[in-house]
Amino acid sequence: MSNYHIKHLEEYFQVYRKSVQNPEAFWEEIAEEHFVWRSKWDRVLSWDFTKPEIKWFEGAELNITENCLDRHLPTKRNTTAIIFEPNDPKEEAQHITYGQLHESVCRMANVLKDNGIKKGDRVCVYLPMIPELAYTVLACARVGAIHSVVFAGFSSNALATRINDCDCKMVITSDGSYRGNKTIDLKGIVDVALEDCPGVEKVLVAQRTGGKVKMKKNRDLWLKPLLDNAYADSDAERMKAEDPLFVLYTSGSTGKPKGMVHTCGGYMVYTAYTFKNIFQYRDGDVYWCTADIGWITGHSYIIYGPLANGATTVMFEGVPSYPDYGRFWEVVEKHKVNQFYTAPTAIRALAKENLEHVEKYDLSSLKVLGSVGEPINEEAWHWYNNNIGRGKSPIVDTWWQTETGGIMISPIPYVTPTTPTYATLPFIGIQPALMDEEGHEIMGIQVDGRLCIKFPWPSIARTIWGDHDRYRDTYFTAYKNKYFTGDGALRDEVGYYRITGRVDDVIIVSGHNLGTAPIEDAINEHPAVAESAIVGFPHDIKGNALYGFVILKEIGEARVKDNLRKEINQQITEHIGPIAKLDKIQFVSGLPKTRSGKIMRRILRKIASKDTENLGDISTLLNPEVVKEVMDNAL
Ligand code: PRX
């Protein structure tokens, strides 16, 4: 029996048991039989969660792009690897074959090398969802450079922080980007960012919008002529399994963003294996994940997982609402998409629109529907199931994180019976535990607690770039010998898991992870602001929206306050990006604090959510009078 492709529930249980009873033997078999390695490992796994140090396939050598590209050439040279669907439906889609993708990646790899990039260098990728983004990511992997993709909706400030944190030598961007009916001046954003990034030597600029850009002499180069002149073949660098493949930033509850480091071997094995099973991908299928490659979902399940399986993966440049709310379904019909993977926030937004936008299209190609990024509420689940899946395509509610590299808890479609809002069972090799606040594991069923993972899996992030102590403190100190996810979960009577949400100060807005601290820092830089606190409150499309409580240095008039609200959001847009803007801003004279000076966010969350009947224990509150004022004036 091959354990690579699971087809029945019984088989899942059998393979799962094997994967936890003897993880080394299990993963060794998967790695050996389904991937190409330049040399084999000396040891499958060594790990110590206290240091923490985790190594998979130590001693092995490989290049992930040989697994994603070269090995498919004999059988799939003319098979489509990537379907590029542009923002504007009038522009023709591109079908990029494995042969063409290989060539473009090789050219790009040569361009990187010609411009001074060597193994181990960091390259920042700040591109829209155009084919060059895929070429660049894979070309970095081919030459052994560490890519750091920054979502092209982040501001120059956020971009600069990320470039400097991992010392990128090069930035790859485009003149501009299209998003619905908007055009964004990406190169202009990069130029501002680079005023604060002395380490960047070269900027390569892809052409997309034809917008006017300034090219800085000796630093900026147009990409197209370089690619045209580059040699179309390039040997892949020999990488150690534990060499870094990429850095990807994610928000923490405090401090600057964390550059999660993923390594080559384990990441490849796990993303490929999960992709195959969780989407039940079969040769000839067309798979579409609507995420942006700037997030982990795009890394693992647009690029690496699908390509490692020789799949056809759709890359969509646009947004679900342009030119109208039927765009997703139009694309599904046009490319006969079989597996469709999106976020609950998109489902909720589309569910609000007229059903005609769905009914116009033939969705009969769909076999599997996926959800990721935040809990999917029951209503959205049913809408997705009834209208998009027509009750026939199972929904895989996939729980995972930037840090986990791949999907951790999820049904396997046509294998695991689904239940709305439940991510169901741990994937093969994943050993979850629910913990109480005192650090004990909660056993049994119908229980809830903090979600931890007891044993390493191949694609766990290995460190935070430049700050291993923070890695240990964030994930491995709360619970001894366990990886702490930051999420709460419950386990029902059949052992299914339901993720209940973050238990820390990270807020998930429209599926984006936002830490409260960086937003508060941005607001506090406004000259009129003395202090602020951000909390989340339920929002029917975004899942959560942000509510800011702001203390001004001087109390002004209402008119001035309205301007201030705009300025505060502008400040946030400049420091982080528009995704972190506040929906509500309440000016207050004080914030509820404990005697030790800590803001009691629990109370603010209740006020923001209009759930003030029972504020819970307020005996440690220093200033109860403030609570009444804040409650009376809540928005
Ligand atoms: O809170 C969980 C939520 O998203 C967090 C991870 O965010 P990020 O690192 O940006 O990765 C998102 C894409 C993998 C988790 O800690 N989350 C993700 N998927 C789900 C989810 N919450 C509930 N259900 C999910 N399916």
pLDDT for residue 153 is more than 80: yes
pLDDT of residue 556: 67
Q: Is 543 in the pocket of ligand 1 (CB under 6 A)?
A: no
Centre of ligand 1 to C-alpha 188, Å, is 32
**Candidate from 502, 508, 514, 542 with most ligand 1 atoms within 8 A of CB, to mutate:** 508
pLDDT for residue 1 is more than 60: no
Are the beta carbons of 425 and 496 closer than 8 angstroms?
yes
Q: Is 457 in the pocket of ligand 1 (CB under 6 A)?
A: no
List pLDDT tens digits, range 318-328.
Answer: 999 999 999 99
| Alpha carbon distance 633, 489 (integer Å) | 34
Phi, psi of 499 (to 5 degrees): -85, 130
What ligand 1 atom has the least distance to the C-alpha of 410? 26
Q: Is 513 in the pocket of ligand 1 (CB under 6 A)?
A: yes
List pLDDT tens digits, range 580-595.
Answer: 999 999 999 999 988 7
Mean pLDDT of the 401-410 span: 98
How distant, in Å, are the alpha carbons of 59, 106, 142, 233, 235 from that of 238?
Answer: 12, 15, 9, 16, 9
Q: Is 374 in the pocket of ligand 1 (CB under 6 A)?
A: yes
List pLDDT tens digits, range 492-527.
Answer: 999 999 999 999 889 999 989 998 988 998 999 999
Centre of ligand 1 to C-alpha 401, Å, is 5
Centre of ligand 1 to C-alpha 141, Å, is 26
What ligand 1 atom has the least distance to the C-alpha of 513? 10
Q: 147: which 2 tokens?
A: 């890519």
List the beta strands (DSSP E) in 441-511. Answer: 441-442, 447-453, 463-464, 483-491, 497-502, 506-509
List pLDDT tens digits, range 314-355.
Answer: 999 999 999 999 999 999 999 999 999 999 999 999 999 999
Q: Which residue's C-alpha comes closest to atom 4 of ligand 1?
A: 373
pLDDT of residue 2: 72
pLDDT of residue 594: 82
Centre of ligand 1 to C-alpha 103, Å, is 35
pLDDT of residue 126: 98
List pLDDT tens digits, range 7-62.
Answer: 999 999 999 999 999 999 999 999 999 999 999 999 999 999 999 999 999 999 99
What ligand 1 atom has the least distance to the C-alpha of 397? 26
Q: Is 250 in the pocket of ligand 1 (CB under 6 A)?
A: yes
Q: Is 508 in the pocket of ligand 1 (CB under 6 A)?
A: yes
What ligand 1 atom has the least distance to the C-alpha of 506? 1
Percent of the chain scoring above 70 in pLDDT? 99
Q: Can you say how many angstroms the Cα of residue 280 is from the centroid of all Cα atoms in its chain? A: 21
Q: Which residue's C-alpha comes closest to atom 10 of ligand 1?
A: 513
| Alpha carbon distance 91, 570 (integer Å) | 33
Confidence of residue 559 (pLDDT cuts 50, 70, 90): low
pLDDT for residue 254 is more than 80: no
List the beta strands (DSSP E) in 278-349. Answer: 286-289, 312-316, 339-342
pLDDT of residue 557: 63
Q: Which residue bears the tokens 């986990």? A: 404
Q: Is 536 in the pocket of ligand 1 (CB under 6 A)?
A: no
- 554 versus 36: which is more confidently predicted? 36
pLDDT of residue 612: 86
How distant, in Å, are the alpha carbons of 39, 92, 311 from that of 280?
Answer: 29, 29, 11
Q: Which residue's C-alpha comes closest to atom 24 of ligand 1?
A: 375
> What is the H or E stretch that residue 64 is in?
helix 64-68
Q: Is 301 in the pocket of ligand 1 (CB under 6 A)?
A: no
Q: Which residue's C-alpha comes closest to atom 22 of ligand 1?
A: 374
Residue 237 is classified by DSSP as P
DSSP letters of 575-602? HT-GGG--SEEEEES---BBTTS-B-HH
Q: Is 129 in the pocket of ligand 1 (CB under 6 A)?
A: no
| Alpha carbon distance 546, 585 (integer Å) | 9
Are the beta carbons of 14 and 8 closer than 8 angstroms?
no
Centre of ligand 1 to C-alpha 601, Å, is 22
List pLDDT tens digits, range 229-251.
Answer: 999 999 999 999 999 999 999 98
pLDDT of residue 57: 98
Residue 92 is classified by DSSP as P
Q: Which domains does the chain have, with CATH numbers?
A: 503-632 (3.30.300.30)
pLDDT for residue 558 is more than 70: no
Mean pLDDT of the 257-273 span: 97
**Candidate from 381, 410, 513, 544 with most ligand 1 atoms within 8 A of CB, to mutate:** 513
Q: Which residue's C-alpha comes closest to atom 26 of ligand 1?
A: 399
pLDDT for residue 561 is more than 90: no
